[in-house]
């Protein structure tokens, strides 16, 4: 282990949370990885000191036949840190819902120890497994090994980024769609779009099984697919009574319904939902999971235009399709037809590095709706909240009124 003093890296090991510095130090104990791990910590220490990254991104590096999947990265100080002169990142298409076997993890780790730094990021913001740091020379051999074991690269650059989803029905009984099957299907169907950058900029598809939106699809993806239902919430009144008898603060829970469409009869210990006015926010179902369940007529809502800050500020997605069935039986054709018409419009009109949300903002929702042949609907609100980040006031944080755990 290096004896170099790195006060900032040491600081990052304090506290209750896992620290990537610990992981770098563990990586340094692997035969052949000591130098690169320590140099990476030195680079980071200097970078934190001068408050600037010591990498330059870009450059055309990749593997045969693919335009995306590798992010070129070079050191700004190759004389000082020669071992990381080339430190490219490879993005590996993750399994839907991040389900791995132990063998999968071992295979990926072995491949990366052989061809790269051994350090990974599980997972990057897009969802991929991120292999951190290798040379141009090792890219193709690493890719060949990955392919031999059934793995593929994900997206990068101006292409379809690797679609990602929540665990959905893998764990959640109230998942409204099969996020795992849908994401797997869409990923295989759009291989050309995923591997060959052909658009003005990136396009992301993220899929959440219900409106809890655990992958933050509405805030992080151009095309957010969110499971929902269009009939009535199912109520088990016996379980409602059991919750009341057990002292659950049902009145406090229902007071948080955003549309005030749920009521509780304390004498009868019964809940009633005015389903016409329910926005399917999931709050009451989350709080009383034994008593309340999603409806039976399930499908998804599609929101367009979410993104983090870059050219324009952060956008949360617009609801463009309030309800669509996602049918396995017809190979999800309804979704594919829709998304391709949206991509066609965006591809034709967007400037370089203009995301879908920015184009809708510039040309107007009407322009897109006409192009994709959709009629305006009341659900297509422009500003439910224009920024996906919530800032809590001091007063909110100190609010000790009854809230169900």
Point out which residues bind ligand SF4 (CB under 6 A): 166-168, 172, 175, 208-210, 212-214, 257-259, 261-262, 273, 278-285
Q: How far is CA 356 from the centre of its chain?
A: 17
Bridge partners (DSSP) listed for residue 55: 75
Q: Which is nearer to ligand SF4, 272 or 313 (CB)?
A: 272
Cβ of residue 255: shortest distance to ligand SF4, in angstroms?
10
Q: Which is nearer to ligand SF4, 153 or 186 (CB)?
A: 186
Cβ of residue 295: shortest distance to ligand SF4, in angstroms?
10
Cβ of residue 288: shortest distance to ligand SF4, in angstroms?
9
Q: Which is nearer to ligand SF4, 136 or 255 (CB)?
A: 255
Q: Which is nearer to ligand SF4, 44 or 291 (CB)?
A: 291
Identify the CA nearest to 204 among candidates 339, 81, 71, 296.
Answer: 339
How many beta carbons lie within 10 A of that of residue 223, not counting itself?
26
Cβ of residue 263: shortest distance to ligand SF4, in angstroms?
10
| 199's tokens | 């658009």
Cβ of residue 297: shortest distance to ligand SF4, in angstroms?
15
Cβ of residue 383: shortest distance to ligand SF4, in angstroms?
19
Q: Which is nearer to ligand SF4, 142 or 273 (CB)?
A: 273
In whole angstroms, give the CA distance from residue 194 to residue 159: 6
Identify the CA nearest to 20 among candidates 169, 157, 122.
Answer: 122
Q: Which is nearer to ligand SF4, 265 or 348 (CB)?
A: 265
Tell me which DSSP letter residue 260 carries. -
Burial of 180 (0-12, 13-18, 19+ CB in 10 A): buried
In whole angstroms, give the CA distance from residue 65 to residue 358: 31
Residue in the block written with tokens 């659950």 = 248
In whole angstroms, give the CA distance from residue 282 to residue 273: 13
Q: Which is nearer to ligand SF4, 6 or 283 (CB)?
A: 283
Q: Which is nearer to ligand SF4, 233 or 356 (CB)?
A: 233
Q: Which is nearer to ligand SF4, 21 or 271 (CB)?
A: 271
Bridge partners (DSSP) listed for residue 160: 203
| 103's tokens | 């063998």
Cβ of residue 405: shortest distance to ligand SF4, in angstroms?
16
In whole angstroms, give the CA distance from residue 236 to residue 369: 40
H helical segments located in 51-116: 102-115
In whole angstroms, give the CA distance from residue 313 to residue 349: 20
Name the residue with the smallest CB distance to ligand SF4: 209
- Sign, CA dihedral 193-199-201-203, equals negative
Cβ of residue 342: shortest distance to ligand SF4, in angstroms?
23
In whole angstroms, give the CA distance from residue 285 to residue 208: 16
- Residues 164, 155 contacting (CB under 8 angstroms): no
Q: Which is nearer to ligand SF4, 259 or 309 (CB)?
A: 259
- Residues 210, 332 contacting (CB under 8 angstroms): no
Q: What secondary structure, in 3-state letters, does 314-338 show?
A: CECCEEEEEEECCCCCCCCHHHHHH
Cβ of residue 377: shortest distance to ligand SF4, in angstroms?
18
Q: How far is CA 385 from the centre of its chain?
A: 19
Cβ of residue 151: shortest distance to ligand SF4, in angstroms?
24
């Amino acid at each position: 282990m290096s004896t170099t003093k790195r006060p900032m890296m040491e600081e990052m090991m304090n506290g209750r949370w896992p620290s990537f510095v610990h992981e770098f130090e563990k990586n340094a104990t692997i035969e052949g990885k000591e130098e690169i791990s320590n140099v990476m910590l030195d680079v980071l220490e200097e970078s934190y000191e001068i408050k600037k990254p010591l990498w330059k991104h870009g450059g055309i590096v990749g593997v045969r036949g693919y335009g995306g999947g590798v992010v070129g990265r070079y050191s700004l100080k190759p004389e000082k840190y020669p071992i990381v002169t080339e430190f490219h990142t490879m993005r590996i298409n993750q399994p839907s819902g991040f389900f791995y076997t132990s063998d999968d993890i071992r295979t990926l780790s072995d491949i990366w120890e052989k061809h790269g730094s051994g350090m990974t990021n599980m997972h990057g913001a897009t969802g991929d497994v991120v292999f951190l740091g290798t040379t141009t020379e090792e890219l193709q051999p690493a890719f060949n090994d990955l392919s031999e074991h059934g793995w593929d690269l994900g997206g990068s650059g101006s292409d379809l980024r690797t679609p990602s989803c929540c665990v959905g029905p893998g764990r959640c009984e109230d998942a409204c769609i099969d996020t795992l099957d849908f994401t797997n299907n869409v990923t295989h169907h759009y291989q050309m779009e995923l591997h060959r950058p052909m658009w003005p900029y990136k396009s992301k598809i993220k899929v959440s099984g219900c409106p809890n939106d655990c992958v933050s699809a509405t805030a992080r993806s151009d095309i957010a697919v969110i499971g929902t239902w269009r009939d009535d919430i199912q109520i088990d009144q016996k379980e409602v009574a059991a919750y009341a008898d057990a002292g659950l603060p049902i009145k406090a829970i229902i007071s948080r319904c955003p549309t005030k469409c749920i009521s509780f009869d304390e004498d009868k210990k019964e809940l009633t939902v005015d389903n016409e006015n329910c926005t399917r926010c999931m709050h009451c179902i989350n709080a009383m999971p034994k008593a309340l369940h999603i409806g039976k007529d399930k499908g998804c809502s599609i929101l367009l235009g979410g993104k983090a800050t870059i050219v324009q500020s952060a956008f949360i997605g617009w609801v463009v399709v309030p309800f669509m069935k996602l049918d396995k039986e017809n190979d999800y054709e309804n979704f594919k037809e829709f998304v391709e018409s949206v991509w066609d419009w965006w591809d034709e009109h967007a400037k370089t590095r203009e995301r879908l949300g920015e184009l809708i903002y510039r040309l107007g929702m009407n322009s897109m709706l006409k192009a994709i042949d959709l009629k305006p609907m009341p659900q297509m609100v422009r500003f439910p909240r224009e920024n996906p980040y919530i800032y809590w006031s001091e007063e909110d944080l100190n609010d000790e009124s009854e809230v169900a755990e």
